[in-house]
Chain A
Amino acid sequence: MLQFLFRRLIVALLVAATVMTLAFILTRLSGDLAISIAGPNATAADIEAVRKAYGLDRPVLSQFFDWVGRAATGDLGNSYFFQTRVSTLIAERMPVTLTLGLTGLSIALLVSLPMGILAAVRENTSFDRAVQMVALIGQAMPSFWLGLLLMILFGLTLGWLPISGTGSWEHFVMPGIVLAFSAIPALTRLTRAGMIQAMGSDYIRTARAKGLSRASILLKHALRNAAIPVVAIAAVQLGFMLGGSIVIEQVFALHGVGFLAWESIAKNDFPVVQAVVLVLAVIYVALTMVSDLMNAVLDPRLRA
């Protein structure tokens, strides 16, 4: 078990290293960074000054290793635009993104688990078909469009919720719902399939033969087994949500990490873009490890 975790850690580090490299290459794609930073009205002298100031006159490889070395210690460079450390910027914005992600995941689980369980219990009834339709709709729904629609409906027409900013918990309701929509199809399907399989298993027959209550059979015996892959996938879904938050944050003007990345792309603030890609990738990898850990914790058969 420990050996398994250790191997996953190695893979995680390798992935992080690869993503670091890719992120670095990404920002060097447009050729001469100095020109982009200096702006359209810069003279040749200005560009040279920028090049020296930002260390862009050194060979590319040494720039790369410099970046890798510093990133490993947590120093993600300085933002061109904000004149502050990138790590500070990201740390400031991270709580918003995390809140958004966790809200979205919570809503998704609150909706998917009961729907999936009920759909499994009423397999092949019209309720089941309705649930599958909901999953299909969620899969096809463009998130940014849903966000705008919710804004019109709840923000404008009904006036229940604020449409932008991060003042209070109400600001996270609509964005959370939109994020949840992206995860609900997969989680619902997984829950449903897992419950159907669990309910048809021999140990459930034993549970029924023991005269246990329906609630106990469903929730204590079946769900306990069916939930294992769902929990694992939920962790990974959180990773996707955090990675994809850029759209929602832009639509709802939430100043999280995604919004920061968006602004930085617009301003050609390369260190920030580079760093955000790396940070999001590392978080995703960490969440997949959490997912594996949850599998091991919940399934006694994996612990030996």
Chain B
Amino acid sequence: MSVVTVNAGPRRGWRSAGTWVGAFIVGIALICAIFAPLIVPHDPFAQDLDRRLLVPFWMEGHNPEFILGTDQLGRDYLSRLIWGCRISMLIGITVTIVSGLIGITIGVLGGFFGGRIDDAVLFAITTRLSIPVVLVALAVVGLLGTSMTLLVLTLGLLLWDRFAVVARSTSMQVRNLDFVAAAWCAGCSRFRVLSREVLPNIASHLVVVATLEIALAILLEATLSFLGLGVPPPLPSWGLMIAEAKDYMFFSPWVIVIPGVALFVLVLGINLLGDGLRDAFGTRSRS
């Protein structure tokens, strides 16, 4: 090979710019989510048909009171955007909690106990993977009506597979390590071994999965809301905002660009943070 000087390795974990960008984005999202009622400039639900489709600040003829303009019912876009962030984060986190509980339990049971239980767990995972998620979620909401609780439950019951897979493979690895055998020999009950030895060691992997799953849940909720079977209107889910704006998108493209960019940036930020965490924890090898 010709003379080539080796490039410095990529900056990983906390030293990577991407991780900090992700953390920053997630931080802003959390602030918006938690303090939404305090920071929205206008009421996101207040309609005013005199002020429909005002343009955002970078275009001519904008109204300085409504920085990002208004939608087709005269509602302030910025306020709806911030409120939508709250909804996205809320759903993302709650869905992940539900799917995490289900997935981790199933995964650890399979990975730790092995044998027939593991066979059953693998079967469950395979079955879950073969189910078309969006279709089934749509069907459930379509049949039972839109509500936040139903949405969270449905998505939570559908999105546990990655948790299960990672929990299973990591607990399988940990199970074979010596300190687990040592705790076993010392007479610890199975529950104690699980909670004191196994769980703390797989926790870092699961945190990484959790961040990525939050992003996935947010995307899915947006998709469902876009199709009209997600968050019930008038709640301003970003997906719903895009759907509502579809009729106007050829004339006023910003109405779909703005919430779409917000959605994209949030999901990207969470993914960047998740990747950074994965590198920081040194959990490069996944199943």
Determine if A148 and B246 form an interchain contact, defined as CB atoms under 8 angstroms apart: yes
Determine if A26 and B139 form an interchain contact, defined as CB atoms under 8 angstroms apart: yes
Who on chain B is nearest to A16 by CB? B130
Select the stretch in A58-66, A98-106, A273-281 that faces chain B.
A273-281
| Chain B binding surface SS class | helix
Q: Tell me whether A142 and B267 are in contact in the complex, defined as CB-CB below 8 angstroms, given that A124-B9, A156-B250, A265-B139 are known contacts.
A: yes
Q: Tell me whether A247 and B256 are in contact in the complex, defined as CB-CB below 8 angstroms, given that A29-B144, A139-B271, A141-B264 are known contacts.
A: no
What residues of chain A lie closer than 8 Å to B46, measured between beta carbons? none
- Chain B interface residue count: which class? 35 or more
Select the stretch in B60-68, B78-86, B220-228 that faces chain A.
B220-228
**Cβ proximity bits A123-146 to B, threshold 8 Å, 1 near / 0 not:** 111000100000011011111110
Determine if B131 and A145 form an interchain contact, defined as CB atoms under 8 angstroms apart: no
Q: How far is the CA of A14 from the CA of B126 in the complex (A)?
A: 10
Which of A142-168 touch B at CB < 8 Å?
142-145, 148-149, 151-152, 156
Determine if A281 and B130 form an interchain contact, defined as CB atoms under 8 angstroms apart: yes
Determine if A145 and B268 form an interchain contact, defined as CB atoms under 8 angstroms apart: no
What residues of chain A lie closer than 8 Å to B143, measured between beta carbons? 26-27, 29-30, 36, 265, 268
**Cβ proximity bits B111-134 to A, threshold 8 Å, 1 near / 0 not:** 000000000000100110111111
Q: How far is the CA of A268 from the CA of B145 in the complex (A)?
A: 12
What residues of chain A lie closer than 8 Å to B139, measured between beta carbons? 26-27, 261, 265, 273, 277
Partner of A142, one of B135, B222, B253, B271: B222
What residues of chain B lie closer than 8 Å to A22, measured between beta carbons? 127, 131
Determine if B135 and A258 form an interchain contact, defined as CB atoms under 8 angstroms apart: yes
Which of A216-266 touch B at CB < 8 Å?
239, 242-244, 246-247, 250, 258, 261-262, 265-266
- Chain A interface residue count: which class? 35 or more
A284 within 8 A of B: yes
Q: How far is the CA of A144 from the CA of B240 in the complex (A)?
A: 12
Q: How far is the CA of A136 from the CA of B65 in the complex (A)?
A: 35
B142 within 8 A of A: yes
Partner of A145, one of B18, B264, B275: B264
What residues of chain A lie closer than 8 Å to B263, measured between beta carbons? 142, 145
What residues of chain B lie closer than 8 Å to A27, measured between beta carbons? 139, 143
Determine if B135 and A15 form an interchain contact, defined as CB atoms under 8 angstroms apart: no
What residues of chain B lie closer than 8 Å to A250, measured between beta carbons? 227
What residues of chain B lie closer than 8 Å to A178, measured between beta carbons? none
Who on chain A is nearest to B229 by CB? A265
A19 within 8 A of B: yes
Determine if A124 and B267 form an interchain contact, defined as CB atoms under 8 angstroms apart: no
How far apart are B253's CB and chain A's nearest CB, in angstroms? 6
What residues of chain A lie closer than 8 Å to B256, measured between beta carbons? 145, 148-149
Q: Tell me whether A144 and B242 are in contact in the complex, defined as CB-CB below 8 angstroms, given that A139-B271, A246-B135 are known contacts.
A: yes
Determine if A152 and B253 form an interchain contact, defined as CB atoms under 8 angstroms apart: yes
Who on chain B is nearest to A282 by CB? B130
What residues of chain B lie closer than 8 Å to A11, measured between beta carbons? 123, 126
Q: How far is the CA of A281 from the CA of B132 in the complex (A)?
A: 7
Which of A200-223 touch B at CB < 8 Å?
none
How far apart are A264's CB and chain B's nearest CB, in angstroms? 9
What residues of chain B lie closer than 8 Å to A258, measured between beta carbons? 135
Who on chain A is nearest to B264 by CB? A140
What residues of chain B lie closer than 8 Å to A145, measured between beta carbons? 242, 256, 260, 263-264
* Residues of B bordering A, CB below 8 Å: 7-10, 18, 123, 126-127, 129-136, 138-140, 142-144, 215, 219, 222-223, 226-227, 229, 239, 242, 246, 249-250, 253, 256-257, 260, 263-264, 267-268, 271-272, 275
A-B contact pairs, 9 of them (CB 8 A): A14-B123, A125-B7, A136-B18, A136-B275, A142-B267, A144-B222, A243-B132, A258-B135, A281-B132
